Amino acid sequence: MVVGQERRYYKEVDSTNTKAKLWAKAGAKTGSLVIADRQTAGRGRNGRDWHSPSGVGIWMSVLLRPEVDVVAIPRLSLVAGLAIVKAVQAHTGLDAKIKWPNDVVINGKKVCGVLCEMQGSGGRVDYAVVGVGMNVNTEAFPESLPYASSLYVESGIRYDREVLIEYFCNYFDTYYKAYQKEGKLIDFIEEYKNNCINLNNKVKILEDDRQYEAYATDINDKGHLIVQQDDGTITEVFVGEVSVRGLYGYVE
Ligand code: BT5
């Protein structure tokens, strides 16, 4: 597969994930890419909003038809997260890091998020859509987003969005190929861990009915975060199952 071989560019959409799903239903090939200059209803996880103004960010969605078990789909967020971090590092030299499972941060602020959605039935995956939002040349953010930043804010340099997209596609291709083998992250989990900011740090795990603090000790090849509490209890935290409150003061 080559990510981005087929592309659709839009001046304005509601959400590139929504566009990609419609294209999937109309038969789009795996690797197809939807890119928009602006989103009017950009989405985060769990119905949250994603601020997507015109001309300054990368708002895009990759359509995939992975031949993996349905439980492996949320791991695509980690595949994308690593590809984004590598792309940003390669093109800008900035110290971008992954905040497990799906954020990319620079100097403790969020510059990028990933939204992974899927369609399937009876354990079969029809398609998955991996949405990537990256603040590239944004100069300022609304007051409601105190923990957001952009590559421009962090460096004082404006970057070419097209070049960043090309870097992302190349890295994503490589990691996705490895992921496709077994639906696991085994071939690049060390690289992921080396670029992950939560590891060996305190995290707060927020589950539906409880929350607790713990120390993040590892990430396994399924992309699960391994945490240890003060009383020694070790828990495997699933991607998509909980939110981790980490560097910022708000709940993600
Ligand atoms: C995410 O959700 O981080 C996933 C964001 C995915 C956006 C892409 S853009 C292309 C594609 N099409 C879509 O409609 N979506 C995807 P989550 O972890 O739930 O974080 C959402 C939270 O991040 C919000 O509640 C805000 O607090 C904050 N936020 C919103 N917009 C932001 C921005 N532009 N930069 C940084 N933080 C933002």
DSSP 26-91: TTPPTT-EEEEEEESS-B-GGG-B----TTTEEEEEEEE---S-GGGGGGHHHHHHHHHHHHHHHH
| Residue 150 near ligand 1, beta carbon < 6 Å | no
Question: What is the model's pLDDT at position 137?
Answer: 98
CA distance 67 to 85: 25
Amino acid, single-letter form, for residue 165: I
Pick out the chain residues at pLDDT < 70.
1, 240-241, 246-252
Position in ligand 1 atom list of the atom nearest CA 51? 31
Question: What is the model's pLDDT at position 121?
Answer: 86
Strand order in the sheet with 211-219: 234-237, 225-228, 211-219, 202-206, 243-245
Phi, psi of 73 (to 5 degrees): -65, -45
Question: What is the model's pLDDT at position 1?
Answer: 62
| Residue 100 near ligand 1, beta carbon < 6 Å | no
Two tokens, residue 43: 């989405």
Pocket test for ligand 1, best of 13, 50, 250 (most atoms within 8 A of CB): 50
pTM: 0.95
pLDDT digits (tens, 9 = 90+) for 101-116: 889 999 999 999 999 9
Question: What is the model's pLDDT at position 106?
Answer: 96
C-beta of residue 109 within 8 angstroms of C-beta of residue 219: no
CA distance 68 to 183: 5
| Residue 240 near ligand 1, beta carbon < 6 Å | no
Two tokens, residue 151: 């590559």
